[in-house]
Structure 1
Amino acid sequence: MSGPILTVANLMVRYGDLVGVADVSLTVPSGSIVALLGSNGAGKTTTLNAIAGLVPPAGGTVTWQGTDITGRPAHAIVAGGLALAPEGWRLFVQQTVEQNLRLGATVIADKSRVPALLDRVFSLFPRLAERRKQRSGTLSGGERQMLATGRALMSDPKLLMLDEPSLGLAPAVVESMYETLAKLKREGLTMLLAEQAVELALEVADYAYVLQTGKTVLEGPAAQLADDRDVQRIYLGLETEGS
């Protein structure tokens, strides 16, 4: 790992009078997996959406590879090498698997690269290769999450953000998804992972931040947080032995 590729400082997001994120700060070193943890409603999805340019920040800064990208539109951020894989239900359900994937490559200037990018996704997710002509709306939950991740990878990002990749999926599918994330890490891809599945996230991550009511309340090496019973009980709501 080397220096930070992404830095978020004192991020705030408002939806009218409602505060979605109050004060989130985090750093993602190049080549690492950073986990963004917290219960439902803690602000994880809003944080990712603000970084990706899908919602405007009300305060704070987002710095990408040394450049302030706060408030830039989503298409410009994706073109700069930062992609978001949303929850698997946010797809173009009337279009086929391959059409959804090709939409992810819209920002690729050299279209001759698209077949190789498709091959990479199909290698990572063989199920998508089998379903390439199938309408996305007919896929299972696990297949949809594979497709959401594959579509983000089609932009050939330098940093991949994943929003709850395990949400609502069967354990075997979740295990397969995390094996794929570990493989992507070995290939050198940097990732920011928002998860409620704390144990899974901490197992694959290098570093983690814990959000509570829209604020960064704790951070540390993933292995350290995984072994801290008080952290799990207080901030993550997990039962621990002897609690």
Structure 2
Amino acid sequence: MSELIVEHLEVRYGDLVGVSDISLRVHAGSVVALLGSNGAGKTTTLNAVAGLVRPSSGRIVWQGEAISRLPAYRIVGKGLALSPEGWRLFVTQTVEQNLRLGASSLADRGRTAALFDRVYALFPRLAERRRQLAGTLSGGERQMLAVGRALMSEPTLLMLDEPSLGLAPAIVEQLYETLHRLHGEGLTLLLAEQSVPLALDIADYAFVLQTGRVALDGAAADLRENERVQQIYLGLGESKAVI
């Protein structure tokens, strides 16, 4: 079973706390949202799962295997991919070169052509821009490229960090339609979002983070009606340095 389990995750940057106690589960085929205001710990949690930061304590288990100490390239090879906040593209390389880098972890390089076809079918704009430098793309096109690059590793679980941030409403709508389509094809999604309505519309289950901890969790349908979600989202309560 392709299940992700995070237990009592703590991440520190010297004396600064990234997250202090995060526990969550992502079941195969589900969409799980991490909600919370800026600084609640969403990005740090995703980065820890992706192997980009090392947990100070706690466990991260994927498909029954502890991955907390594995480097990022090995975690990608096991079927987890992250589309990061801010895109982190190679701006002096073309769209196609960025996508090809996403496929570098594939055990079967013969799959690359089919994955290009899949990404270009999902994002026709990228096909039109395939020879264009990533640094010349619009914000919406860069977000498409970041998601497409993650998909080139053929993940079982796709993580997205603030996919709607800074994008025009029409682009956000297109992006979320694509995420719905990917989920319909069987891809498991874990996304961090500040936009509560967007996240709860697509998610099956959500965890609301506050000051580096899980303050509330439940089925997305239930959390839509929960007044505490808005209180936590607005950052009410005790303050603590988090990333």
- TM-score (norm: length of structure 2): 0.95
Match of 2:232 among 224, 235, 238: 235
Give yes or no for contact 2:95–2:134 (8 Å, CA) kept in 1: yes
Q: CA deviation at 1:237?
A: 2.5
Aligned partner of residue 74 in structure 2, secondary structure: helix
- Report the Cα distance in structure 2 between the residues aligned to 1:155 and 1:66, rounded to whole angstroms: 21
Q: CA deviation at 1:5?
A: 0.8
Q: CA deviation at 1:109?
A: 1.9
- Report the Cα distance in structure 2 between the residues aligned to 1:4 and 1:60, rounded to whole angstroms: 20
Aligned partner of residue 52 in structure 2, secondary structure: coil
Q: CA deviation at 1:57?
A: 0.2
Aligned partner of residue 168 in structure 1, secondary structure: coil
Q: Which residue type is aligned with residue 128 of structure 1?
A: L
Give yes or no for contact 1:10–1:24 (8 Å, CA) kept in 2: yes
- Report the Cα distance in structure 2 between the residues aligned to 1:200 and 1:231, rounded to whole angstroms: 17
Counting only pairs closer than 5 Å after superposition, residues 45-194 of structure 1 correspond to structure 2 as 45-194=43-192
Residue 38, structure 1, aligned to residue 57, structure 2 = no
Aligned partner of residue 223 in structure 1, secondary structure: helix
Give yes or no for contact 2:2–2:156 (8 Å, CA) kept in 1: no
Aligned partner of residue 192 in structure 1, secondary structure: strand
Q: Which residue type is aligned with residue 230 of structure 2?
A: R
Q: CA deviation at 1:89?
A: 3.4
Q: Which runs of 5+ in 1 are unaligned?
A: 239-243
Give yes or no for contact 1:10–1:60 (8 Å, CA) kept in 2: yes
**CA shift digits 1:40-69 (9 cap, x unpaired):** 000000000000000000010000001111
- Report the Cα distance in structure 2 between the residues aligned to 1:80 and 1:121, rounded to whole angstroms: 20
Q: CA deviation at 1:105?
A: 0.2
Equivalent position of 2:220 in the other structure:
222
- Report the Cα distance in structure 1 between the residues aligned to 2:43 and 2:193, rounded to whole angstroms: 9
- Report the Cα distance in structure 2 between the residues aligned to 1:130 and 1:30, rounded to whole angstroms: 33
Equivalent position of 1:9 in the other structure:
7
Paired residue total? 235
- Report the Cα distance in structure 2 between the residues aligned to 1:71 and 1:178, rounded to whole angstroms: 32
Aligned partner of residue 27 in structure 1, secondary structure: strand
User: Which stretches of structure 1, 4 residues or longer, exceed 6 Å deviation after superposition?
Assistant: none
Provide the alpha-carbon RMSD of the alignment.
1.1
Q: Which residue type is aligned with residue 235 of structure 1?
A: I
Aligned partner of residue 56 in structure 1, secondary structure: coil
Q: Which residue type is aligned with residue 226 of structure 1?
A: R
Aligned partner of residue 34 in structure 2, secondary structure: strand
Aligned partner of residue 201 in structure 1, secondary structure: helix
